[in-house]
Chains A and B, each alone.
Chain A
Amino acid sequence: DAGVTQSPTHLIKTRGQQVTLRCSPKSGHDTVSWYQQALGQGPQFIFQYYEEEERQRGNFPDRFSGHQFPNYSSELNVNALLLGDSALYLCASSLTGLGGELFFGEGSRLTVL
């Protein structure tokens, strides 16, 4: 049973570029959440997708957008990259419901130069 898989694992972009990160949830999970984790900090909630809709959003600008596909996989898009967007981007999947435990992927390390 594959866990949460993310791609790519590492990538380097320059300021102003756009990036797309991908996530496949754990088998049987229908909810995907995205987090940004700066070095030495805890993860910060970006948004959550369920039934192909953004269910809730954290305090991130509109440059951050996402999508969920019918197979529950998800993408995170970031436009007009800034140096401050450099971080580990974590995807977590769960079964919908308040008590659903989160299973995290290994993350995508984004470096913006």
Chain B
Amino acid sequence: KNQVEQSPQSLIILEGKNCTLQCNYTVSPFSNLRWYKQDTGRGPVSLTIMTFSENTKSNGRYTATLDADTKQSSLHITASQLSDSASYICVVRGSGAGSYQLTFGKGTKLSVIP
């Protein structure tokens, strides 16, 4: 069964600090992995999308890494801001049969405090 596990479930950090969120998946064969940011009660917004051949991709203060061999990804947030408070969701798309479906993680709820 395709699964995406995220850790930690929740995280509280001080404004200005860095943090790293983890995503482990069992989706196979793999097509791509995406990180989304979801503010409370709003729709998810894409941060990055990574394919099999990509190891690192940055989007401003967000840097995602992918290790397709170990089926792990991380999202690193640098110099956090209060506006970074949100849920961060890891989403994996498989290839082949059923590839139209995406497997979502439950998300990591990040709270940035002053």
Contacts and interface: CB of A to CB of B under 8 A. Distances in A.
A35 B104 CA distance: 10
B89 A102 contact: no
Interface residues on B, range: 20 to 34
Interface string A55-99: 110100000000000000000000000000000101010000011
A36 to B, nearest CB: 11
A98 to B, nearest CB: 6
A38 B93 CA distance: 21
A22 interface: no
Interface string B29-70: 001101010000111111001010000000000000000000
A106 B100 contact: no
B42 A45 contact: no
Given A42-B106, A98-B99, A99-B32, A107 B43 contact: yes
B43 A4 contact: yes
